[in-house]
Chains A and B, each alone.
Chain A
Amino acid sequence: MKHATAATETIENNSFTVTDLFKICTHCERLSKKDLGVRIPRSLGNGPSRFIPEKEILQVSKVDPRTQSIFEDAFAALGRLDNISLVMGFHPQYLESFLRTQHYLLQMDGPLSLHYRHYIGIMAAARHQCSYLVNLHVNDFLQVGGDSKWLNGLDGAPQKLQALGELNKILAHRPWLLTKAHIEHLLKAEEHSWSLAELIHAVVLLTNYHSLASFTFGCGITPEIHSNGGHTFRPPSLSQYCVCDIANGNGHGHLEERRGNHQVSEVSGEVEVLMERMKQLQECRDEEEASQEEMATRFEREKTESMLVATAEDEECVPSRDVSRHFEDPSYGYKDFSRRGEHVPTFRVQDYSWEDHGYSLVNRLYPDVGQLLDEKFQMAYNLTYNTMAMHKDVDTSMLRRAIWNYIHCMFGIRYDDYDYGEINQLLDRSFKVYIKTMVCSPEKTTKRMYESFWRQFQHSEKVHVNLLLMEARMQAELLYALRAITRYMT
């Protein structure tokens, strides 16, 4: 472990040498396999998250009354308290908004029938091979009377849902390719066509589950013990882990401890450096004003750079059959923005923003959802406790904005009024790797990535970051989808 971390530290500007790490890990895994027998029964129910030690996560019995009542409501609404909610319990305000929206999307009045909603959720989660969400919704799907034949794959589903497959694929991986034609194709008057309201509902569901998949992987959510295949089914991403990853700090206490000490000594200044930079940016902004060209190039540079940030490893991870049957064309994955020479015009937020345009469209076609999403976005964007690791009373708005805009930047969305140079100052490489992986191919997120960024920050802060990532991603996808729909309508 120690060796590996040191290796990455020393090699600068090179892509993350994950392979090194994995050698050790596979070795380690093999060893442990030999010790224990052929196959280790992985009890994945070791706390709600693989990344966050169980003792860190709020125990339902020990939380403050507010969180408690939110948990109660969630339990009453769903008949379960899933691990996602437990992890989000770090941020009760957000959790409340999240659950309200999810409840409305899945259970309340809406254009789509209940089993369609869950099936769309399954489709979306399957795109990212998120077996956790898939299993969760397979259960719900069957519970609301869905036809189990559909679960054999998209081929078994009605043609109407099959038509949605393409949209799902594009939205999940390359939303900027979405055009009016796609919408037209879905809406054209035919037997299996969609209505506008249904489509909006579907789009909201798809984007919600894509981003929720990001969160699930980003926080290493473990399946509930009782959930279908919770401990027998191996999520595909698991293949990359070594046992010590899964043991979650409980089994390998000494190792954890050692690494912890090691890190603290090494990166003790990390937070301070970050804060110093924020302060500098705040101060010197007025003095040195970058030219327009400079600003434009900075955005482009950030955009291009974001592509070069390697996501884990490029090895095609073959999705497990169980999940893959829900989507066609598993080979279609995230391809970097404009990497292959297709020139896609930059999406200017000033021309199509959520607040002005997206909201109105959604609320018009699917009443109240616009409002709920708006609240959720604002909640995620504005959530702050004014703390950074051990420091209190810090204005984190700059950092939050940098994260938000960096994600939108990866999707080619540009804010005219933002200096993308700030991102470079505030987000270091390992953090960028994490963001990139989590947003673009969440199934490749590893515990190591989770641990390697912001090492001094609390777990609750990392979950906070995850929330930001998730909402920013959802908004980015929604913006592209809604813009296409608006274009179709005019």
Chain B
Amino acid sequence: MFDIDVHSLAVCLSHVVLGVSTSVCHSLLWSNLNQGPSVIITQDSGELGALSSPSCTSGKWRLRGPPLLFRAMEKMSRVTTALGSSAISGRTMFCHLDAPANAISVCRDATQVVVAGRNIFKIYGLEEEQFVEKLNLRVGRKPSLNFSCADVMWHQMEENLLATAATNGAVVTWNLGKPSRNKQDQLFTEHKRTVNKVCFHPTEVYMLLSGSQDGYMKCFDLRKKESVSTFSGQSESVRDVQFSMKDYFTFAASFENGNVQLWDIRRPDRYERMFTAHTGPVFCCDWHPDDRGWLATGGRDKMVKVWDMTTNRAKEIYCVQTIASVARVKWRPERKWHLATCSMMVDHNIYVWDVRRPFIPFATFEEHKDVTTGIVWRHQHDPYFLLSGSKDSTLYQHMFKDASRPVDRANPEGLCFGLFGDLAFAAKESLISGDANRKPYPGGDRRYPIFFFKKPDLTEQFAHVSSALSVFESSLESRRMDWFVKTARLYLLSGKPFAELCDHNAKVAKELNRPQVSTTWTMLRIMFSDPANLSTPGPNHIGKLGTLPLMNSFSMKEMGTESRLDRSKGESRQDNIHLEPGNSLINSNNDENEETEGSEGQAEYMFGDAELDDDDLYSMEHDNQAAEEQEYTLPQEAFPLRHEIMDNPSAPEHLQQDKADSPHASGNEAEVTCLTPIESFSLISISQPLFSPHLPVHFFCPVVREMLSHYAEQGDVQMAVSVLIVLGDRIRKEIDDLTQEHWYMSYIDLLQRFELWNVSNEVIKLSTCSAITCLNQTSTTLHVNCSNCKRPMSNRGWICDRCHQCASVCAVCHHVVKGLFVWCQGCSHGGHLEHVMNWLKSSSHCPAGCGHLWEPAFRESFAKLGERSIAVEDQHQDLGGTMEEHSLSPQKGQPPTPSNHSHQQAFQLSNQNCCVVY
């Protein structure tokens, strides 16, 4: 589910409330990562909390994968859009530009801002209440492409100096001190492609750096006519270049292929350091204004990462996941952990993040109507003013106090049901504090260091919400999900005749104390069995009918005998399979009987609600008064639906009776029917002379369909799917494909949560929905490395192309393994599944003679495997299923490791120490 290092799990006893942390709890999720149930909590602080019942330690871990936090983010953004923000105060101001802006920059004293775009290049003065246009630099009758700016930068030392990067590859400098209207100073046309970024040196007046689409960075000395040095990234286009704030000679460059390079300005021949920061282009980077080694990067992969560059290898220390590709990133002045981002597509907001709490933005500015293209903090030492330009042709000054704070609107409550019926509930501490049983969480509220330097300002802190988590363990037997697991394991869905399956499943249900389900199975068998087989259930029913009209009940024992009988008739029913067509013909002949039956009235069975009755029997009443008005005896809790399901249940018995004289029946069939005990005929005919003798199978379909829907709606999708599979073609057409797919999906999902991989795979295989069966055909490729040379194996699994050795040799028989290969993750030795299993019976050491004592967990899992006696199938498409229930042993060395080949289908074998070589 997640990539989590589980070290320890936090405590929670039944009905004890714990304070979890000081940050907002976003969502809860139950997980059964390990033996016991545990709760996972996502917090916006970037941590996952976990609680589990059995152990008594506490812990937190960082969440690496995005799924949860992403959900939280989206929720958040929904909230934001829903509430909107119209609070533009006096000093949050904007002005309309004539054209979309591409970039903005402020001068050093924060009084003026320059806006550049394809069709705009202007300087605005920042006044108290408004923007005032100061200067239009776009002069001339026919503006050339040199005016079409991709980027602009105002020199931070020299207030008259500006530089722009033009889309046609020119780098232009502008001197505002020039007396003429045209302020253009220098023009460098050395780049062959669009220049994406220009950057002045923070302290050196004449040094300008540019990065271009052609993959080169050039350093210009403004006193000279051409560049002084050229840096070749040796890779793709340069998207951003930034001089380090603190190191005089260093600059960082980000590239379209995801790399970030560090250069020394004195050494144009080679970069100092390179690392891959993102997948896909890195659009922007920014050095931390105070912290020497920190570099923030933003990429198309929607992430903002903060790197610590002081160490030998660039280390990712923070990561913020946003909802759209990150176009610009700017550290917030005077706030160590804050940075502002805007995105390139789709999302128009500007976010300010506290990198330590990456799941929810610290503040959001939502004024722009189109993509924000440029953001800049107005003053180097003032964190309260943010300027932004946008494609919607507006220039904004945002006041920090007017920003919306998503955290205030985030819902701090979370509620989640566990797999086994437990309930976790997290809420603001204040809401729960009244709880008597509460024990304070030892962690307390001390997690937040003071991260502002000057004055403690409450608006500058993340909302301080303490959440408390309560876990309610379910003690009620009825709420537990054991029955689900057991049922799933024990049900038979295929491989035997229909009636036997039904009987078996009925028995299973019965033993699990679910009489209603059990009855349903029995009824299904009765309804849908081939007429010929009705001979076997016969006696049972005769018993029932014979004692009518008394309330009757039959016990499991009877059913047991019945199923045995059934089996003994196995051969004869085989013979009848080919009679199906004839059968249906008969059925169609019987249509008129249906009609008569409706008016005449016949047997009615009533069933109590199984869940409520403690008895293991079901009550049944046979309304024998034919031709009279029907009389329904409803138990108190009965559902009408269920009642209908059981309508006319004994009808199929009479099919056989008719069969003998059916013109379509073959001789074979007739013979079989003769086996039917004669009493059954007579009894039935005596007791119900008007009972419709034969009902077509499809007569029951509407009823069964309703029953299935009912079960599914009640939450027992297991029943719905099992019946669907067992009945197969009998019912399939009655239920529309989408519903079926939905049921299958839900059931498979449930099975997988309970780690019942085998069952889920069986269900997938048996399903007839194409959408489901294809689940087994995805992710069927597993890339392996050779165990000798550790290189990826290209073609066939067992011979390495490079070292020409057999890669996977069985340590027991020394033959090449084709098929299931099992290995110990401790010593990397392994072999044929059966061989290893046999070996483990006698020894616990590695058969290769390396002296390694095979992992206990590994052995255990094999013990389990042995019990289950899995039919190992050689089709690798069934891999997902057969690889189940291996141990949770920590991943150490594994000889054929799934390689990180680029097109590797993510083959999620979370706990595998088993692999198939094919």
Contact = CB atoms under 8 A, between A and B. Distances in A.
B256 A489 contact: no
A418 to B, nearest CB: 8
A486 B345 CA distance: 8
Interface stretch (A261-269, A305-313, A332-340, A358-366): A358-366
Contacts of A191: none
A132 B492 CA distance: 49
Interface string A265-297: 000000000000000000001000101110110
A14 interface: no
Contacts of A489: 346
Contacts of A61: none
Contacts of A348: 118, 167
A148 interface: no
Nearest to A97: B903
Contacts of A296: 145
Interface string B354-373: 00000000000000011100
A162 B544 CA distance: 62
Interface size class of A (residues with CB under 8 A): 20 to 34
A369 B148 CA distance: 32
B281 A490 contact: no
Contact of B345 (A289, A292, A351, A360): A360
A342 interface: no
A69 interface: yes
Nearest to A100: B903
Contacts of B283: 356
B146 interface: yes
Nearest to A489: B346
A417 B370 contact: no
A37 interface: no
Contact of A292 (B144, B344, B370, B371): B144
A350 interface: yes
Contact of A417 (B169, B371, B903): B169
Nearest to B144: A292
Contacts of B194: 350, 415-417
B371 A295 contact: no
B506 interface: no
A357 B344 contact: yes
Interface string B292-325: 0000000010000000000000000000000011
A357 B345 contact: yes
A355 interface: yes
A417 B213 contact: yes
B192 A417 contact: yes
Interface in B96-152: 118, 142, 144-146, 148, 150
B148 A360 contact: no
B146 A292 contact: yes
A341 interface: no
A8 to B, nearest CB: 36
B478 interface: no
A79 interface: no
Contacts, number: 74
A65 interface: yes
Contacts of A361: 345-346
Chain A binding surface SS class: helix
B300 A360 contact: yes
B795 A417 contact: no
Nearest to B391: A490
Interface in A395-416: 415-416
Nearest to A109: B778
Nearest to A382: B236
B345 A350 contact: no
Interface string B193-234: 110000000000000000001000000000000000000000
Contacts of B783: none
Contacts of B148: 350, 416
B97 to A, nearest CB: 15
Contacts of B169: 416-417
Contacts of A295: 145, 168
Contact of A364 (B168, B281, B324): B324
Contacts of B344: 356-357, 360
Nearest to A292: B144
Interface string A353-381: 00111011100100000010010000000
Interface in A470-485: none
Nearest to B279: A371
Interface size class of B (residues with CB under 8 A): 35 or more
B662 interface: no
B588 interface: no
Interface string B151-166: 0000000000000001
B189 interface: yes
B65 to A, nearest CB: 15
A355 B370 contact: no
A416 B145 contact: yes
Contacts of A356: 281, 283, 300, 325, 344-345
A350 B369 contact: no
A57 to B, nearest CB: 24
Interface centre among A108, A289, A364, A417 (most CB of B within 10 A): A417
A108 B775 CA distance: 11
A282 to B, nearest CB: 10
B795 A69 contact: yes
B832 interface: no
A292 B346 contact: no
Contacts of B829: none
Given A292-B145, A359-B300, A490 B213 contact: no
Contacts of A359: 280, 300
B119 to A, nearest CB: 10
A361 B347 CA distance: 11
A285 B190 CA distance: 10
A291 B778 CA distance: 56
A409 to B, nearest CB: 15
B348 interface: yes
A417 B193 contact: yes
Contacts of A415: 194
Contacts of A108: 778
B325 A416 contact: no
Nearest to B196: A350
Given A293-B142, A364-B324, A417-B169, A355 B348 contact: no
Given A351-B118, A417-B192, A490-B371, A364 B145 contact: no
Nearest to B346: A364
B118 to A, nearest CB: 6
A490 B324 contact: no
Interface centre among A69, A108, A416 (most CB of B within 10 A): A416
Contacts of B346: 360-361, 364, 489
A65 B796 CA distance: 12
A94 B144 CA distance: 39
A291 B189 CA distance: 11
30 contacts: A65-B795, A100-B903, A291-B144, A292-B168, A295-B145, A296-B145, A348-B118, A348-B167, A350-B118, A350-B167, A350-B194, A355-B256, A356-B283, A356-B300, A356-B325, A357-B344, A359-B280, A361-B346, A364-B345, A364-B346, A371-B280, A374-B280, A416-B148, A416-B166, A416-B167, A416-B194, A417-B167, A417-B191, A417-B213, A490-B370
Given A356-B300, A415-B194, A490-B371, 17 more contacts: A69-B795, A108-B778, A348-B118, A350-B167, A350-B194, A351-B118, A355-B256, A355-B281, A356-B345, A360-B345, A364-B324, A364-B345, A374-B280, A416-B148, A417-B169, A417-B213, A486-B345
Interface of B: 118, 142, 144-146, 148, 150, 166-169, 189, 191-194, 213, 256, 280-281, 283, 300, 324-325, 344-346, 348, 369-371, 391-392, 778, 795, 903
Interface of A: 65, 69, 100, 108, 285, 289, 291-293, 295-296, 348, 350-351, 355-357, 359-361, 364, 371, 374, 415-417, 486, 489-490
Which 8 pairs, one residue from A and one from B, show the smallest C-beta to C-beta distance?
A292-B144, A416-B167, A360-B345, A350-B167, A416-B168, A417-B169, A417-B193, A417-B194
